[in-house]
Amino acid sequence: MNPLLEVIDLRVYYKSIWGDYKSVDGVSFKTYENEILGIAGESGCGKSTLVEGILGLIKPPGYIPSGKVMFEGIDLLKLSEEELRKIRFKKLAYIPQGAMNSLNPVIRIEEQMIDAMLDHSDIDKEEAKNLALSMLKEVGLPVEVARMYPHELSGGMKQRVIIATTIAFKPKLVIADEPTTALDVVVQKGILQLLRKLKEDYKMTVIVVSHDMAAHAQIADRIVIMYAGKIVEIGNIYDVFEDPLHPYTKGLISAIPSMGKRYIKGISGLSPSPLNWPSGCRFHPRCNYAMDICSKIEPDMKEIKPGRWVACHLYG
Amino acid sequence: MLELRNVTKIFKIGGGLGLFGRRTIKAVDSVSFTIPSDKPLIVALVGESGSGKTTIAKIILGLLKPTSGEVLYKGRSVSDWIKRDKLKYFKEVQPIFQDPYSIYNPFYRIDRILELVIKKFNLASSKREAKDLIIKAMKDLGLRPEDLLGRYPHQLSGGERQRFMLTRILLIKPKLIVADEPVSMIDVSLKAIFLNQLVSLKDKLKASCLYITHDLNIASYIADRIIVLCHGKVIEEGPAEEIIKDPLHPYTKLLIDSIPIPNPRCRWRETVDLTRLESFKKLKAEEGCIFSARCPYVREICKTKAPPFEEVKPDRKVACFLYM
């Protein structure tokens, strides 16, 4: 199967007077057509920076020392801002974290939607308006919403307006960063199910970035686990939850509180700093299985079985 | 030990000079519940955003005055405690707040928080003794004093800051802990450690805890009892395990059905009807049962009359006409 997006050894660093913050430090993964790929990890592991790197949104003092982001055979990192603009929104769409709070409070919803559409295509205003209305219907919002202002909508409704706008041109890939953080559980369920439904209806690929393992368990097909700027494990969602390989993934899964779970256990120690990642395997100071080699040599990602990747010395 | 009697809090908002467009919001609507003193319990107060959870915490801590009703601690009203025996009250009732970033003064080393506590509550007679107390409390919580003491707040992660707050609790040894979403800002791997330590404090200090959260996964893990709030009203109360297994109120059912289970084999069975998910009309019914605007089982009576909060099974209270 050909990947839709392939990230190869991507690094995103931020310059500072203390040295480089190596937020994303050599990340490689693929995503295929018509799947939901979850990217999970704790705060500061580089999830959001990774996504910004993929989309070419890194601004100084951030820079990309190495890596490739292949999308439909083109390296996105080599494109100019103008060329990127042509792809963004139409083929490659992005829902940033907290996007629902970025709606302009003094402009009606439909105008904001139309504006975004006109900016990225050559359809006329009438067409854009019809498209906006049909997209609102697609996400389950009544047409009245079009004439309303953001303050008249709840958080979940605003998030749906954002989703409706984002997918108006049926992009091949949608990247959503924490799409349900700060929403109540009932609304969270609605939004996650909507993403799943749109993926099926539009045959899109959706990358969902979230710290919430439970959200991934509910909608993702495959999952990428990040720790300290690197990927530690990739696999099918069932495999990763039922048979986690990397000690960090194991710890993460046994730490999630859940109804019916009798005992949860945390991972002691602290997340390291991007200024000064630990030597060898970055998880070794917190790892219960750490061996001598772990503090000296950084483990490579290895494919244990088809589609199942892990970076840990315990596995060969 | 703690008793809330018909506590109501009305906020007035807007209105320049109090003349125009002034509105009132009933954040807490005659809430009554008790935390008994016979054995230490963790009671989870569960509700969505805007359900009045934090307002209740603030009223218990004396940071807000209820518009009507009263809060009694050991039979004496909180306002009276605070007026006459403030120090004694906070020796017994201690908060843990949601945001571990805004409670520290960035100019002082973190040690100062514990030193102040010791001085204020007169826990030690000498500096030496104070230091020993601090070190012992930190070790009890699995924190390394040599790594943490002497540092400034910005050098600590959210998880460390919240656990450091537990050290404060361990020093003061309160009888009641009021914890308002203490783990909502910290990572999963540290969240588990914090929750387990909170549970262990219950046995160590014989202290009860009012744990305020929106997360039923957490409530079901740590709580002995659950109280469910909806738009400022208590709509269900009972033993945690029973509520999770067999929720009575349609709102509690809705909440429990919506929780994402961290297991890909237990995905949500039914789909949310997006057109009914939220409406821009009022979610909160003005008359009758506050949940009637969203309730799938709504009947005529629900729209006009508020259901009483009654015991419908042993130790299970619910405010819903389905059970009357």
Query: Where in chain A are the domains?
Result: 3-80+211-310
Confidence (pLDDT) at B296: 87
Q: What distance in Å separates the CA atoms of residue B172 and residue A80, rounded to the nearest whole number?
A: 61
Compute the radius of gyration of chain B from its Cα atoms.
21
Cα–Cα nearest to A228, from A73, A62, A45: A45
Confidence (pLDDT) at B283: 64
**The complex's ipTM?**
0.85
Of the listed ranges A82-96, A215-229, B15-29, B59-73, the least confidently predicted one is B15-29
The answer to whether B198 touches B41, Cβ cutoff 8 Å, is no
Contact A185 B268 (CB under 8 A): no
CATH number of A3-80+211-310: 3.40.50.300
Q: Whole-prediction pTM value?
A: 0.89
Average pLDDT over residues A234-242: 96
Instruction: Locate A37 and state its tokens.
Output: 């790929």
Confidence (pLDDT) at A292: 94
Instruction: Locate B128 and state its tokens.
Output: 């030496």
In chain A, % of residues over pLDDT 90 = 78
Q: What distance in Å separates the CA atoms of residue B194 and residue A267, rounded to the nearest whole number?
A: 11
Residues of chain B falling short of pLDDT 50: none
Contact A218 B261 (CB under 8 A): yes
In this structure, are strands B93-96 and B176-180 parallel, antiparallel, or unpaired?
Answer: parallel
Cα–Cα nearest to A178, from A290, A70, A315, A43: A43
Contact A186 B142 (CB under 8 A): no
How would DSSP label each residue in B184-218? Answer: TTS-HHHHHHHHHHHHHHHHHH--EEEEEES-HHH
Confidence (pLDDT) at A256: 92
Confidence (pLDDT) at B104: 85
CA of B72 to nearest chain A CA: how many angstroms apart? 31
Query: Domain locations in chain B?
Result: 256-324
The answer to whether A208 touches A38, Cβ cutoff 8 Å, is yes
What residues of B are in contact with residue A273 (Cβ under 8 Å)? Answer: none
Instruction: Locate B64 and state its tokens.
Output: 């807000």
Across chain A, what does the average pLDDT equal?
Answer: 92
Contact of A18 with chain B, judged by CB distance below 8 Å, is answered with no
Find the CB nearest A259 among B188, B220, B271. B220
Confidence (pLDDT) at A274: 87
Confidence (pLDDT) at B163: 83
Task: Please name the residue of chain A whose CA is at the shortest distance from the CA of residue B187.
Answer: A42
The answer to whether B223 touches B16, Cβ cutoff 8 Å, is no
Average pLDDT over residues A12-30: 93
State the residue for tokens 């025996």. Answer: B85
